[in-house]
Amino acid sequence: MSVEYCPRCGAVLSADLLHKFGPEFDCPECDERICVSPATGGAPPSVASPQLQAAGEERPPGDRLQCRTVGSQLVLLIPPGSNKENRSMGCFAVAWLGLTGVVSGAAVVSGNLDAGSMLVVVPFFGVFWLVGLLMLYFWYRGRFGKTYVLVESDRLVTKFELFGREKYREYGLAPDSRARLVESYRSNNRPVFAVAVSTTAKQAKFGTFLSRKEKDWIIKRINRHLAARPEEAG
Composition of the chain by helix, strand, coil, percent to 5:
35, 30, 35
Angle (CA) 147-204-143 rounded to 5° is 35
CA 229 to chain centre: 27
Residue 176 has pLDDT above 60, yes or no: yes
Residue 167 has pLDDT above 60, yes or no: yes
Q: Share the mean pLDDT of the chain.
A: 76
Task: Tell me which residue of 162, 149, 143 sits closest to 66, measured CA to CA.
Answer: 149
- Report how far residue 58's alpha carbon sits from residue 209's, in angstroms, rounded to the nearest whole number: 22
Tell me the per-residue pLDDT of 77-112, one tens digit each, with 9 for 90 and over. Answer: 887 766 666 677 788 888 999 999 998 888 777 767
Portion of the chain with pLDDT greater than 90, in percent? 21
> What is the predicted pLDDT for the residue at 2?
43
Tell me the per-residue pLDDT of 104-140, one tens digit each, with 9 for 90 and over. Answer: 888 777 767 667 777 777 888 889 999 999 888 888 8
pTM: 0.59
Class of domain 47-80+146-234: mainly beta
